[in-house]
Structure 1
Amino acid sequence: MVASLVGLAVALSGCATSPSAAVPAAAGQTATRPAAEQSATPSAEQSAPQTPAGQVPGLPAPDVAIPTDPSRLARSLTTTTAQLRRAVDDWVSDGDPGKGQPPEPVVLLALHQQRIYRYLVRNPKVAARTYARLPKALAGPAKDNVTAGRNLRSLVRPISGAAKFRVQPPEPADVLLSHFRRAERKFGVEWEVLAAVMFVETKFGRVRSPSHTGAKGPMQFMPGTWAAYGMGGDIQDTRDALLAAANYLHASGAPRDYRRALYAYNHSQAYVDAVLLHARQIKQDIRNYYAYYSWQVFVVTTRGDRRLTGP
């Protein structure tokens, strides 16, 4: 049924009734730009340090080089994750996740954490050596994130030419959280699973381009599936789309059998595993929801990863 997948900055097919096939990697949105078309060409992600004017000192620059040594990687991931959790705590307690976008510390630290995980996804042998050097409390989550990323990346065909993707900022984190919980109350599908699906499909609604199969909206529904489960709503409306996704997952077996329900949503065991791993992380610590919400969107190209959103 469903499958336009953008988690870890990749995209698959959309709400379809046939197994999903590998398709060109897609893009998501930035937290600061209005809706627009962003171009992607197969140029590798930058690695030279760049510190924007006015950036808070001590925060990682958006394109600072990622360590390649397992010991240094472990230290960087440990420090970054601890700082990100504190920044999320400050945002939730002193800011307002129900309005606007994440503050700069959350944005920069989440991006750095995401880029570390993307490096580990691409380098399995380095990842295995890095796990052994992480604190026990972080080793498990790290394995979950890398495994999920590797599963999703296996479903992607890198783009080799120019491509354009329509993107827009997501709704505020706590507004989305209220939509997730409303859908959970109505259909009994855990909000963390719905959040993980939306994270994987469109990076929380950042991607607005239809999939190559014609799937649309923040939860990537094919028109026929939407007609059956959209309950008369607007396929592009976030609240309507989340209710429809919960409706479809419930009809497909959730919450009794999430694996069956998610397989109906996207006919890929790699997809199912990735969604459940991300959902588990959100259940274990709600700060992971706010971190995932702040992750940016990348495109996988034949010459490396290309970031299309963020600072």
Structure 2
Amino acid sequence: MNRTTRISALAVSFALGLGGCSGSSEAPPAAAPGPASTTAPPPAAGPPSTPAGAQPRLAADPVTLADELVADERTLRDPATPQEALARAARRQQVAYRAIGRHPEWDGIVRPRIPVELVAFYDRNIEARRELAALAEPRDVLPAWRINPPPPMEVLLEAYRDAEAASGVGWNYLAAINLIETHFGSVTGASSAGAQGPMQFMPSTFAAYGAGGDINSPRDSIMAAGRHLAANGFADDRDHALFRYNNADAYVRAVNAYAAALADDPAAFGVFYRWDVYYVSTAGDVLLPVGYAAEAPIPVADYLAAHPQ
């Protein structure tokens, strides 16, 4: 197996937002998105700029930001919270973790304000954010992706559990990979290395582990990921198996952090599921809402002119 290190454009985008794209360890190194065409690119087919599509606005000072984060964390764990309020809290929570991840100088201010029952979840999110941020290379074009709603939570959870039963790979590790790779399948588009599908396999790797399934099927790709990790020794050396999935130590640490959060916090899966897709650009982090669609890379300045953040 070719052990060439590969970090794809999608996984890098997740480093400061959401939506990632990696694939198996045998993929070649990811290239930057192609240069923008000299002719006007097709516009994104995403929704027009509306308050609902814009990034949540949070406090700029770390004390208030921390207090708002705690309030949202409690909202997300309250069984009486309506669905719309859950979605708003999850979006704000995501942006808060992004901001704190970018400002390690805030750690001594923010972390002491986190209640003890939320500290482990907080720590794992910040760890994962910073590990993936280390892989990010901002681009001046937005990718040729389509953003769709992810499959229903119950469909994904059933697939993770079935893959765990078949392979011995913990459901939470499969979910963490799915989160990092394509935000549970909501990001559609091959990586610059050619990886495809919800778990971002190279076609040759999927042929070996996919059992004749469909690389674009959430269930088939999750089952294939379980087989891939098991074949690479997950039971005896989890980190080695994760490294073979995507050859970067920071990626391995991020998967471990999210997997731990998913295993220990009953609210975690629903929280992560409600997050948005962001792309790391030279103009900052750009929210790509459900409905975004581009057939070719789009200059980020052009997109932002039509879709203010």
Q: Same fold (TM over 0.5)?
A: yes
Q: SS where residue 232 of structure 1 aligns?
A: coil
Question: What is the CA distance between 1:17 and its match in structure 2?
Answer: 1.5
Question: What is the CA distance between 1:21 and its match in structure 2?
Answer: 5.2
- The answer to whether residue 77 in structure 2 is matched with residue 85 in structure 1 is yes
Of 56, 69, 72, which aligns to 2:64? Answer: 72
Change in CA separation of 1:216 and 1:145 when aligned onto 2, cut-off 3 Å: same
Deviation by residue 1:12-36 (Cα, 9 ceiling, x = unmatched): 5433425755856xxxxxxxxxxx9
Pairs within 5 Å for 1:217-228: 217-228=197-208
Unaligned stretches of 5+ residues in structure 1? 25-35, 40-45, 53-60, 96-102
TM-align CA RMSD: 2.6
Of 268, 273, 277, which aligns to 1:288? Answer: 268
Q: Which range moved further: 143-152 or 157-166?
A: 157-166
Question: What is the CA distance between 1:69 and its match in structure 2?
Answer: 2.0
**How far apart, CA to CA, are the structure 2 residues paired with 1:275 and 1:38?**
32
Partner of 1:56: none
Partner of 1:15: 24
- The answer to whether residue 220 in structure 2 is matched with residue 211 in structure 1 is no
Question: What is the CA distance between 1:154 and its match in structure 2?
Answer: 1.4
- The answer to whether residue 102 in structure 2 is matched with residue 105 in structure 1 is no
Q: SS where residue 283 of structure 1 aligns?
A: helix
2:27 and 2:195 in contact (8 A); partners too: no
Q: SS where residue 144 of structure 2 aligns?
A: strand
**How far apart, CA to CA, are the structure 1 residues paired with 2:90 and 2:54?**
10
Would you say how many aligned residue pairs link Structure 1 and Structure 2? Answer: 271
Change in CA separation of 1:213 and 1:202 when aligned onto 2, cut-off 3 Å: same
Partner of 1:42: none
Q: SS where residue 157 of structure 1 aligns?
A: coil
2:20 and 2:183 in contact (8 A); partners too: no
Partner of 2:143: 163
Question: What is the CA distance between 1:305 and its match in structure 2?
Answer: 0.7
Change in CA separation of 1:23 and 1:279 when aligned onto 2, cut-off 3 Å: farther
Q: Which range moved further: 154-163 or 210-219?
A: 154-163
1:20 and 1:268 in contact (8 A); partners too: no
Partner of 1:55: none
1:20 and 1:266 in contact (8 A); partners too: no
1:23 and 1:155 in contact (8 A); partners too: no
What's the TM-score, normalizing by structure 1? Answer: 0.80
Q: SS where residue 132 of structure 1 aligns?
A: helix
**How far apart, CA to CA, are the structure 1 residues paired with 2:193 and 2:31?**
12
Change in CA separation of 1:138 and 1:221 when aligned onto 2, cut-off 3 Å: same
**How far apart, CA to CA, are the structure 2 residues paired with 1:237 and 1:64?**
32
Deviation by residue 1:199-222 (Cα, 9 ceiling, x = unmatched): 000000011100001000000000
Deviation by residue 1:121-171 (Cα, 9 ceiling, x = unmatched): 111112342112222222332121011011112112111134331222111
Q: SS where residue 59 of structure 2 aligns?
A: coil
Change in CA separation of 1:192 and 1:174 when aligned onto 2, cut-off 3 Å: same
Change in CA separation of 1:64 and 1:254 when aligned onto 2, cut-off 3 Å: closer
2:243 and 2:252 in contact (8 A); partners too: yes
What's the TM-score, normalizing by structure 2? Answer: 0.80
Question: What is the CA distance between 1:65 and its match in structure 2?
Answer: 2.4
1:23 and 1:156 in contact (8 A); partners too: no
Partner of 1:30: none
1:3 and 1:265 in contact (8 A); partners too: no
Partner of 2:231: 251
2:229 and 2:242 in contact (8 A); partners too: yes
**How far apart, CA to CA, are the structure 1 residues paired with 2:238 and 2:28?**
18
Q: What percent of counterpart residues are identical?
A: 36
Amino acid at match of 1:69: D
- The answer to whether residue 123 in structure 2 is matched with residue 123 in structure 1 is no
Of 284, 289, 296, which aligns to 1:304? Answer: 284
Question: What is the CA distance between 1:90 and its match in structure 2?
Answer: 4.6
Question: What is the CA distance between 1:308 and its match in structure 2?
Answer: 0.8
Deviation by residue 1:36-56 (Cα, 9 ceiling, x = unmatched): 9657xxxxxx9xxx865xxxx
Change in CA separation of 1:150 and 1:90 when aligned onto 2, cut-off 3 Å: same
Q: SS where residue 253 of structure 1 aligns?
A: coil
Q: SS where residue 217 of structure 1 aligns?
A: coil
